[in-house]
Amino acid sequence: EVQLLETGGGVVQPGGSLRLSCTASGFTFRNYAMSWVRQAPGKGLEWVSGIRDNGASTYYAETVKGRFTISRDNSKETVYLQMRSLRAEDTAMYYCAKAPTGGPLQLPSGGLLGWLDPWGLGTQVIVSS
Amino acid sequence: EIVLTQSPATLSVSPGESATLSCRASQGISSNLAWYQHKPGQAPRLLIYGASTRVTGIPARFSGSGSGTEFTLTISRLQTEDFAVYYCQQYNNWFQYTFGQGTKLEIK
């Protein structure tokens, strides 16, 4: 069974830093891209960041670019999200999710493989003084 | 950025009836759209990808349709466990994803 376990959340002051971890099991981690998605209180889902299978390419939402860094350690089957210069608006539940491929792949039909499945239960981040 | 607009924000339906949820994209995204179900305290659950392909294990009462800019998730014969928040997600560009704001499906 594929499982994702997020850890590292907590309460941090504005301007502070936090590193989230997502440990995977049940699949060949090094073959798949991974992503982080967050949900602020009372809000919807927001895609945050992604990293391809070999870690060579990383991607960010504009709201976190320059402040967050995604990385992975395939030997530990773990993906990380280093968060710096945290703001109140970064307060959210942070979910880790698995991509269906290791990198961009276009089907002959022109379709892409970009859904996220499965997701972990999330780790809560609260930015408050 | 591709904006997804879901409607309605809240839908009240009785068990046993059907529900139709809509998702509109600000530009054409072919069939690069997924639907998720999210319940409080749980991980979001993938239901549909490629706009209309149901994930293995998802009941047949869930169906997706559409392409381009207009998409629909239909849930027939609603059961109590189906009441949740539903999100659409576009993946028209690799890791430049966006989600709709969600539709809350509640018991009437």
Distance, CA of A31 to CA of A53 (rounded, Å):
5
Q: Which residue of B has its CA nearest to A95?
A: B43
Q: Which residue of A has its CA nearest to B43?
A: A121
Residues on chain A bordering chain B, Cβ-to-Cβ distance under 8 angstroms? 33, 35, 37, 44-47, 50, 59, 62, 95, 97, 103-104, 110-122
Nearest to B16 by CA among B59, B60, B50, B61: B61
Helix (H) or strand (E) holding B59: none
pLDDT computed for residue A110 by the predictor: 76
3 state DSSP class of B78: coil
**Judging by DSSP bridges, how do beta strands A18-25 and A3-7 pair with one another?**
antiparallel
Which of B31, B43, B100 comes nearest A121 by C-beta? B43
Q: What is the tens place of the pLDDT at every residue in B8-64?
A: 999 999 999 999 999 999 999 999 999 999 999 999 999 999 999 999 999 999 999
pLDDT computed for residue B13 by the predictor: 96
